[in-house]
Chain A
Amino acid sequence: MHPRLELRNISKRYPGVVANDDVSLSIQPGEIHAVLGENGAGKSTLMKIIYGAAHADSGEIYCDGNLILAHNPAMSRALGIEMVYQHFALFESVSVVENIALSASSAFNLPSLAEKIRELSLRYGMPIDPHRQVHDLSVGERQRVEIVRCLLQAPKLLILDEPTSVLTPQAVVKLFDTLRQLAAEGCSIVYISHKLDEVQELCDTATVLRNGKVTGTARPKETTSLELARMMVGSKLPEMHVSPAAPSEKPVLEVRDLSAKARDHFGVDLKDVSFNVHGGEIVGLAGVSGNGQAELIALLSGERRHGQGDAIKINGTPAASLRPDERRKLGLAFVPEERLGRGAVPSHTLWENAVLTAHRFGTVRKGLVDRRRAAAFASGIIDRFKVKANGPAATAQSLSGGNLQKYIVGREIALAPKLLLVSQPTWGVDVGASAFIRQTIVDLSRAGTAVFVVSEELDELFEICDRLLVICQGRVSPPLLRTSTDREEIGLLMTGRTMGKDQTGSSSVALQD
């Protein structure tokens, strides 16, 4: 039998880098195959070549034994190949169902497609409302849309480029069930992830890339994650050092009874949110995405302003009604969850992107951009955070996903803020670089910065945070000390239940007098 997909000697170079260097691999029908590698190893490029969104300089692609020549994504879909992009391929100005209709082969009938989406997404544990506009969706919700869009087509070969980076743990479990079932029906799956435990749980085989070359293959289920990590990184993993926090006397960030109506009827109202973050400590916000995180972050960063100025205080100054740049003057730095678009301007160079937030750092003088300083500032970030990029003049969109994330986090940390607000700090970042980013955040806080982290990854929060808050339906729990809580307690709070007091009703009815 022919393999479902066979790549022979694929090479691709971009200015300044060889993204894929003589890559060969083959995948059988029904096989779940992982492609592993550091940030910038060339994984996404290889997937785009398979899907026809990019073209190899040399090499051949065979699907079911047939050579595929000069194809494009539309032809790939006709062949039964579907792909979830790392940087989502969704249109913001139209609704979910319209987005999906654009890549569906079925007749253009929105109501019936919407019904199918609703039903299928529920079945897969990734509920989405087909009539919402994509620009209102959080990145987690967008990821669900991407996945559901592919599953709807009953593919023969499914390419998933970091599909779980912003999915909730529950959704991941369901997704894996679905993927296994698809594989059992003969669909081949190419799976890319930096989360090695997922790879071990799901994948039959793995190909490891480094600097564009295949450096090995493995059977993840029979290999330890340490070994896998070593194959990827090629050196030993850095170790985390978290020294005890020494919180400042006065809080740097004070949030008092912050209530706000959702911006649209799909959002979540914030209800009486109160918490403090002191200098020198890291406070984490756990919660399932779509429970008010987006609203809270928008209010804290200044993207949205609040009428009652003292609901948020930064270093004692009422800040809730200040503009983002005024808050930045008070020492705030902010890493948004959306990298392209809000975190960086895709078509601009890295140094221009640095100027956007670092203009008080000597990169802008008397209203003029000092290019040399800006470039030096950008180079500094590139070196310190080991960003793989073709220098400060590379455009943001030419960076691999993880490298752009490293650059944006690096840019904000380099500002030496008094208050750092960061959302999904290690989204799509490889194991080595994640450890480095986390360590840098810890070091920053120990040097006196107040850090507020929003993340859906509990492991990450438990690794770096001193105190944890849980958000559920717009309410924020009282702070919990990391050392005196556990995953179970947080998990329960995330679903809106508190220990010992079940509020969901049905299951506790029998216990009531």
Chain B
Amino acid sequence: MELFTAIFTGTIVAATPLIFAALGELVVEKSGVLNLGIEGMMLMGAALAFWAVTAGYSMPVAILAGALAGAAASLLFGVLALTFLTNQYAAGLALAIFGSGVSAFIGRGFGSDPIEALHGVNIAILSGLPVLGPLLFRFDPLVYLALAMFVAISWFLYRTKAGLILRTVGESPQTSHAIGYPVIRIRYMAVLFGGLMAGLAGAYLSVAYTPLWVENMTAGKGWIALALVVFATWRPLRVLLGAWLFGGMTILQLQGQALGLQVPSELLSALPYLATIVVLVLISRNRQMLALHFPASLAKPFRPAG
């Protein structure tokens, strides 16, 4: 039972940064913009949040700082891709590299000491429940925030007019423009939101998941988030499941390494990446569903005509 609890809670925690980053990117891509720079924005968020903690700010402030750092980085991308109509692939890659460089620069003075991690919640009766308490009610608050974001984003995209506007901008900015929606402004908001979420994901890594600073500590999670969105065929629920799958594999391979399996540890470390992608590729083969959820104008620059 204890092992199960450990694996289960480990999975949920490991999936949390991916949920933030991938859901943010999902919103960006639904608006027809492809921001490949998640890795860079996450690193900026991680660095800023870590700095804020070491500078003595409170946890909430530090997390907010991380989120805002991600948003600021995404603004850079937005100006390039949306205002100057730079190629979105190029602008996104540039952001990824830029973010990793800048975060390394900021982090030079951090040293290698860990900080005190974000605490788990303690909810009156629930956290004290026998089996369920440790299983469900002792996570840190950001884990619950990630789930709340999933619910909120699903509701926003498919139940609100603003979400409908966002999705249709992603299908055809020309038509949106023709019926009078400010396409560029809408896309800016989506990009900023994506940055905010990536920043949160980064902050989670450096102040909760592994509360210490290591250069390039995201270790490709930004790229996995990107792949998750595509292979989840742009659907929030699949993004969530994919993130859990990745989290689960991460924890299992750690357990495997701890048990001393006779497999090279590099191979084990690659397992979560491999397994997540294989599973997602398999479930995303349905072409019709793909066509239905794919934002048709993805990565195409748009300039209002007239």
Contact = CB atoms under 8 A, between A and B. Distances in A.
A101 B160 CA distance: 11
Contacts of B179: 73-74, 89, 102-103
A53 interface: yes
Contact of B172 (A48, A54, A91, A103): A91
A48 B305 CA distance: 11
Interface string A89-117: 11111100010011100001000000000
Contacts of A94: 164, 167-168, 171
B125 interface: no
B123 to A, nearest CB: 35
Interface in B153-172: 160-161, 164-165, 167-168, 171-172
B306 interface: yes
Contact of B161 (A73, A76, A93, A108): A108
Given A91-B168, A93-B292, A53 B175 contact: no
A85 B174 CA distance: 13
Contacts of B165: 102
Nearest to B169: A91
Nearest to B177: A53
A72 interface: yes
A53 B306 contact: yes
A180 interface: no
B180 A103 contact: yes
Given A75-B180, A108-B160, A108-B161, A90 B175 contact: yes
Interface in A289-338: none
B300 to A, nearest CB: 8
B292 A76 contact: no
B181 interface: yes
Interface residues of B, number: 19
Nearest to A133: B292
Contact of B180 (A54, A74, A98, A108): A74
Given A89-B179, A93-B296, A55 B167 contact: no
B175 A91 contact: yes
B22 to A, nearest CB: 21
A75 B180 CA distance: 8
Contacts of B164: 94, 98, 101-102
A72 B160 CA distance: 24
Q: Which of A72, A74, A89, A91 has the most CB of B within 10 A?
A: A91
Contact of B171 (A48, A77, A85, A91): A91
A76 B180 contact: yes
B153 to A, nearest CB: 18
Q: Which of B179, B181, B305 has the most CB of A within 10 A?
A: B179
Given A102-B165, A102-B168, A73 B178 contact: yes
Nearest to A347: B300
Interface string B278-302: 0000000000000011001000000
Contacts of B177: 53, 73
Interface magnitude class on chain A: 20 to 34
A277 B180 CA distance: 47
B143 to A, nearest CB: 32
A48 B175 contact: no
Contact of A89 (B161, B167, B178, B305): B178
A340 B172 CA distance: 13
Interface in A198-234: none
**Secondary structure call for the B interface:** helix
A77 B165 CA distance: 17
Given A89-B175, A91-B168, A98-B164, A54 B305 contact: yes
Nearest to B300: A347
A85 to B, nearest CB: 7
Nearest to A85: B178
A72 B181 CA distance: 9
A422 B133 CA distance: 69
Q: Which of A48, A92, A93 has the most CB of B within 10 A?
A: A93
A162 to B, nearest CB: 16
B178 A53 contact: yes
Interface string A71-88: 011111100000001000
Interface in A226-277: none
A102 B180 CA distance: 10
A75 B182 CA distance: 12
A48 B306 CA distance: 9
Interface string B176-212: 0111110000000000000000000000000000000
A101 B292 contact: no
Contacts of A102: 161, 164-165, 168, 179, 181
B30 to A, nearest CB: 11
Nearest to A103: B179
A454 to B, nearest CB: 25
A55 B306 contact: yes
B178 A92 contact: no
Nearest to B178: A89
Contacts of B175: 89-91
A335 B92 CA distance: 40
Interface in B35-51: none
Nearest to A93: B171
B172 A101 contact: no
A262 B40 CA distance: 49
A427 to B, nearest CB: 20
A93 B306 CA distance: 25
A252 to B, nearest CB: 33
Contacts of A91: 168, 171-172, 175
B242 to A, nearest CB: 22
B168 A73 contact: no
A54 B306 contact: yes
Contacts of B160: 108
Nearest to A98: B164
Contacts of A90: 175
Contact of B181 (A55, A74, A76, A108): A74
Contacts of B180: 52, 72-77, 103
Contacts of A53: 177-178, 305-306
B166 to A, nearest CB: 11
Interface in B213-227: none
A153 to B, nearest CB: 12
Given A91-B172, A94-B168, A102-B161, 7 more contacts: A53-B306, A73-B180, A74-B180, A85-B178, A98-B168, A102-B168, A103-B180
In the A-B complex, the 5 residue pairs with the smallest Cβ-Cβ separation, listed nearest first, are A74-B180, A73-B180, A54-B306, A108-B161, A89-B178
27 contacts: A48-B306, A52-B180, A53-B177, A53-B178, A53-B305, A54-B306, A55-B306, A72-B180, A73-B178, A73-B180, A74-B179, A74-B180, A85-B178, A90-B175, A91-B171, A93-B167, A93-B168, A93-B171, A93-B293, A94-B167, A98-B164, A101-B161, A102-B168, A102-B179, A102-B181, A108-B160, A108-B161
